[in-house]
Structure 1
Amino acid sequence: MRVAVLSYPMLFQTQGGLQNQIIETIAALQRRGIKAELINPNTQKLTDFDLVHLFSAINGNHRIAEYAKAFGLPVVTSPLIQPHWTRGMGRWARLLESLVGKTTNWNIKTEYRMIESCLRNSDCVIALGETERQCIIEAFGISGDLVRVIPNGIPERFFNASPNLAIEMLKASEPFILNVAAINPYKNQLTLTRAIASTGMKLVLVGDCLPFQQSYLEKILAYEHVTYIGKLDYDAPLLASLYAAASVFCLPSLSEVMPLSALEALAAGTPVVLTENHCMNLEGFGAMVKEVPPNNEQAIRDAISALLRQGSDGKVRSALAKTYTWEAVGESIYKCYKDVLARV
């Protein structure tokens, strides 16, 4: 089975959760003997493959799904639908699409119509959690029979991480808050910085900062309690060690789907403060995860304080180790491919 994996053109110019998800998915599939590869549509033909797996339904990716279907190829899409796509938002988006269409003689399409086209041209849609599944069904009118829930996995190295390397690098053993994400207003590090400024806690940031976000980073670094490590490779031993050494991991983004970084922190035994705008299934995580409004500094501060008093829970790590493995993810996606190929 040959599988063409694609996403939008500029994705791999930076490093983040989606990039890691794609790389780990391909590796898990290849370990099962599936010939999955990230292809270059400028030099490789879709028709040389048995199936197309598309990651993300935005940034023009609907055209990939449309072309694949035109060529008679089955399409599996991992769309990463944000939680704001509710049933009500879908109704408003369809109304707006109608107004824009009539005004422009149907020459302009909204983002909603592009996402819908991507989903409707897919033979199977993979949601990362039940919340995302409901968004796909309710906002875009996709049949529930076509939507499967397959979560992200967690590499084994995060379960076995030691804090020693991070403690040595930071040259201090005092507690710190960790944030791993691209540095930008959407990931909301400045709000987190302000939230803990009066607590005496240190904040350690890890992530790429693009040149046009440099001024945002400078505002953050104006606070003395912040240490910016910069970009780390996903398999860097220091990254896993930082997760293990942190007292709390905090990701107060404006919105997330199923952030790998939050799962990685939990795998390392570190409790998590997470934006309330997400699609993760928190069942089984107990008190190890607290949700916060992303722009409420007091709520972020209170959640961090509560987790500091509480500490870790080994049962959550054990549950994660059984459920969120890339081997299990690869097996589920493989079954999805087989089912799709059997009915097309």
Structure 2
Amino acid sequence: MRVVHVVTLVSDDGAYGGPTSVAAGQLRECAARGHDVTLVSLWRGRGPAPARLGPVPLRTRPARSLLPGRFTGLMHPLLVRDLWRSLGGADVVHVHAGRDLVSLTALAVAVLRRKRFVVQTHGMVQPRRAAAVRLFDRLYVPLLRRARGCLVLTGRERRDVAAVVGAGGPPLLTVPNGVRPGSGAAADPVRRGSEVLFLARLHPRKRPEAFVAMAALVHRRVPGARFTLYGADEGALPGVLRLIAAHGLEGVVSYGGALAHPEAVRAYARAAVYVLPSVDEPFGMTLIEALAAGTPVVCTDTCGIAEELAGRGAAVVTDGSPRELADAVCGLLADEGRRAALAAAGRRAVAEAFSVHAVTDRLEEIYGRLCRVP
């Protein structure tokens, strides 16, 4: 099959997060199975865009901000031509669709080209009351309704998308995100030292300030622990730096900037514990990337996969308060056996529930059904 995916942004700092890594991972696995794949996207980086992401051909244009918003208004006029040409030759079109100009354009081109397409919303399509969103949705929602299927991650996302799309929408198909089992050159978790890692966008929902507050509590009990934050700044960095200074944590807590994916994999592999303090996280792609690297993880009970991970003994789930996060981290740093057990359970969870192999099996079934529909 000729499969074309569209995602809003590829960048050298991973700013768009989960949707980009999910799209690239799905296409890599599709390519390994012999499908003809292409990823169409905007590009933002220090240099020119790469021609490929591993085995995946990349068609891209430099990102330009045409409307306000970090991602909503990104576009390039020539991307319309790229979409028209790429989608025209596709058997199946898969749009990783947020409320933004790239997604809107891709959906419109797919409809005009009379292509069978699916959408995957990644928790980005939720009910909103703002006037600008309601105006955007007058164009966007009718296009979403033309999809042959909408891939959702959790029951909560299913309810959110149903509320936005309303009656007459596409079938809502539950498909989790996945990673390649054993990816990440995992190190022995018992011998990783005492680095505690935050790796996510520095956005208020990700709560990097809570990570710093947690670090201050842990440092009192485990003075040798060190804490590193990585991720593109989306407005929270000044507050993070002020909090580090207020707690006197210079030299204990550091910010390392944004990481490209290979660097992120190495960061997971060398950390003793990965902490994601975000609230209402639709899925938590970084959690399963850390698990694939053999790193014990701590998350909050509002993460979309927290219950699944807790049931498998693959994560320490907290209420998200700095105190509970600190208790969880201190417990893991003091107990090598528990860290090893969590790491082993995490690898099993990836292999059994969050494997890109199983996800691609499901995608091939969906794509094949689309190709058979007259």
Q: Residues of 1 paired with 2:253 and 2:164: CA distance?
A: 40
Amino acid corresponding to residue 67 of structure 1 in structure 2: V
User: Aligned residue for 1:204?
Assistant: 228
Residues 200-224 of structure 1: CA deviation (Å, up to 9, x unaligned):
14212222347x6653453355332
Which of 144, 147, 154 matches 1:129? 154
Alignment of 1:215-234 (within 5 A): 215-216=238-239, 218-219=241-242, 221-222=244-245, 223-224=249-250, 225-234=252-261
Instruction: Name the counterpart of 2:212.
Output: 193
- Residue 53 in structure 1 maps to residue 72 in structure 2: no
How far apart are the structure 2 equivalents of 1:71 and 1:158?
37
- Are 1:333 and 2:374 counterparts? no
The one of 51, 58, 72 aligned to 2:114: 72
Structure 1 residue 303, shift from structure 2 partner:
3.7
CA distance 1:118–1:197, shift in 2 (3 Å): farther
Of 289, 297, 320, which aligns to 2:350?
Answer: 320
Q: Which moved more, 1:65-74 or 1:212-221?
A: 212-221
The CA deviation at 1:262 is 0.3
Give CA deviations for 1:11-57 in whole Å, capped at 9, x if unaligned. 53640322211211111111122212112434422323222210133
1:251-266 residue pairs with structure 2 within 5 A? 251-266=276-291
SS in 2 for 1:204: strand
Output aligned runs, 1:166-181, within 5 Å: 173=193, 175-181=194-200
Q: Distance in 2 between matches of 1:159 and 1:5?
A: 24
Helix, strand or coil at the partner of 1:299: helix
Q: 1:145 to 1:283 in 2, by over 3 A?
A: farther
Higher relative contact order at CA 8 Å, sep ≥6: structure 1 or structure 2?
1
Distance 1:242 1:7 in 2: 25
Unpaired runs of at least 5, structure 1? 101-106, 168-172
TM-score (norm 2): 0.72
Contact 1:273–1:291 (Cα < 8 Å) also in 2: yes
User: Paired residue for 2:56?
Assistant: none
User: Hey, what does 1:26 align to over in structure 2?
Assistant: 27
CA drift of 1:179 comes to 1.0
1:219-260 CA-partner distances (Å, limit 9, x unpaired): 355332213333333124xx4444244332111124422222
TM-score by length of 1: 0.77
Q: How far did 1:161 drift?
A: 0.8
Q: Deviations over 1:122-167 (max 9, x none)?
A: 1111112344234333554367971222222223453641159x95
Give the C-alpha shift of residue 180 in structure 1. 1.0
The answer to whether the Cα contact below 8 Å between 2:212 and 2:244 also exists between their aligned partners in 1 is no
Residue 276 of structure 1 aligns with which residue?
A: 301
Q: Is residue 99–residue 124 contact of structure 2 (8 Å, CA) maintained in 1?
A: no
Letter in 2 for 1:65: L
Equivalent pairs, count: 315
Letter in 1 for 2:242: K
- Give the RMSD, CA atoms, in angstroms: 3.3
Shift of 1:263: 0.6
Matches of 1:42 and 1:63, distance apart in 2: 7
Q: Counterparts of 1:188 and 1:284 in 2: how far apart (Å)?
A: 20
**CA separation in 2, counterparts of 1:302 and 1:139?**
39
- TM-superposition CA deviations, 1:178-207 (whole Å, max 9, x none): 111123333221221012203214212222
Evaluate the alpha carbon distance shift between residue 29 and residue 176 of structure 1 in structure 2; reply closer, same or farther with a 3 A threshold.
Answer: same
CA distance in 2, matches of 1:11, 1:159: 20
Which whole-Å deviations, capped at 9, do the CAs of 1:254-312 have from their partners, x for residues lacking one?
44222221012223333322233333263254343244455x32333334345555433
Instruction: Give 1:5's aligned residue.
Output: 5
C-alpha deviation, 1:115, in angstroms: 5.7
Aligned amino acid, residue 186 of structure 2: A
1:58–1:114 contact (8 Å) kept in structure 2: no
Percent identical among aligned pairs is: 22
Alignment partners' CA distance in 1, 2:81 and 2:136: 28
The answer (yes or no) to whether the contact 2:218–2:329 under 8 Å persists in 1 is: no
**Do the aligned residues in 2 keep the contact of 1:181 with 1:207 (CA within 8 Å)?**
yes
Q: Is the 8 A contact 1:77 1:124 kept in 2?
A: yes
